[in-house]
Structure 1
Amino acid sequence: MPIRRQHRYFYPIDWQELSNVIRFGRAKGCCERCGRPHGRTVAHLGDGRWWDTDRDAWRSGRGRVLRSLAPPSSETPVQLTKVSLSTAHLDHDLGNNASRNLKALCQRCHMLHNKLEHVRQRRITYRKKRALGDLFLGRYV
């Protein structure tokens, strides 16, 4: 995930190297939660289940092999997504860059990990818009 301009100074100067060590050294280029490989396009069902071409099996959103599903065919409604790994802070503290606090996550797992923060930010943005509307336009409708 891109770093917001206002948060840039919370990260250390060597963040790129630290992130690379976590994503490609420790995690070996795969998401540490669901196992999706970095840089590949994977077929998924939209609910977290995805097709692992290396093992020829469906995996759950947590990376467990699902044996009950048949391999994808032309009738299976799959979506394709290119996987991108990023490094997430588990405690949401940008200043805590200890190795045990960092995890390599794909974009789906990272969004799920930060879900409460996104809801909080959306609420703040909504209230800002409403306050500006009340201030300059009268009652905001």
Structure 2
Amino acid sequence: MPIRPEHRHFYPIDWPQLSDAIRFGRAGGRCEACGRPHGQVIVCLDEGTWYDAEAGQWRSGRGRPLRRPPGLAALAEARLTLPILAACHRAHDTSLNGDRDLAAWCQRCHLLHDRPEHLRRRRLTYLRRRALGDLFLGPYPLP
């Protein structure tokens, strides 16, 4: 994932090399959470199930092999996706760049991991907007 310019100073100067070492050196070009391959088109279902062409089997959203393949009704709604790996901070702290602090995750796993943090930030944004509205426009009318 690209780093926003205003956050660039939080990352080490050798971040591109560190990211490559995590994503391709340690993880071998696969998501460490679900096993999706970087840069290869895969078939996905809505609940996260995907087809691993290298192993020739369907996998769950967590990368575990499925006992039974999905039915024809589910396959009718399948879509093609292109997973891209990102080096991610497990604890949301950009100052921690050790081997245990970073993970190679696809977009789906990264968003699932960051969901609580995104919800927290969204709540703060709503509260900030409401406070600014109260400050300049007066209190909001009660429903």
TM-score (norm 1): 0.90
Which whole-Å CA distance do the structure 1 matches of 2:95 and 2:30 have between them? Answer: 24
Corresponding letter in the other structure for 2:25: G
Give CA deviations for 1:25-79 in whole Å, capped at 9, x if unaligned. 1111110110001112222112121111112211011111112114878952112
Q: Structure 1 74/113 Cα, relative in aligned 2: closer, same or farther at 3 Å?
A: closer
The answer to whether the 8 A contact 1:56-1:71 is kept is no
**How far off is 1:18 after superposition?**
0.3
Aligned residue for 1:107? 107
Unpaired segments ≥5 residues, structure 2: none
Corresponding letter in the other structure for 1:80: L
Aligned residue for 1:77? 77
Q: Identical aligned pairs, as a percentage?
A: 54
SS at match of 1:100: coil
What's the C-alpha RMSD, in Å, of the aligned pairs? 1.9
The answer to whether the 8 A contact 2:83-2:106 is kept is yes
SS at match of 1:43: strand
Q: Structure 1 138/107 Cα, relative in aligned 2: closer, same or farther at 3 Å?
A: same
Aligned residue for 1:121? 121
Which whole-Å CA distance do the structure 2 matches of 1:14 and 1:35 have between them? Answer: 26
Which whole-Å CA distance do the structure 1 matches of 2:87 and 2:69 have between them? Answer: 31
Corresponding letter in the other structure for 2:8: R
SS at match of 1:123: helix
The answer to whether the 8 A contact 1:10-1:95 is kept is yes
Q: What does 1:81-92 align with in structure 2 at a 5 Å threshold?
A: 81-92=81-92
Greater alpha carbon shift after TM alignment, 100-109 vs 61-70: 61-70
Which whole-Å CA distance do the structure 2 matches of 1:17 and 1:45 have between them? Answer: 33
Aligned residue for 1:94? 94
SS at match of 1:35: coil
Corresponding letter in the other structure for 1:94: T
Greater alpha carbon shift after TM alignment, 86-95 vs 72-81: 72-81
Q: How many equivalent pairs are there?
A: 141
Aligned residue for 1:22? 22
More strand by share: 1
Aligned residue for 2:40? 40
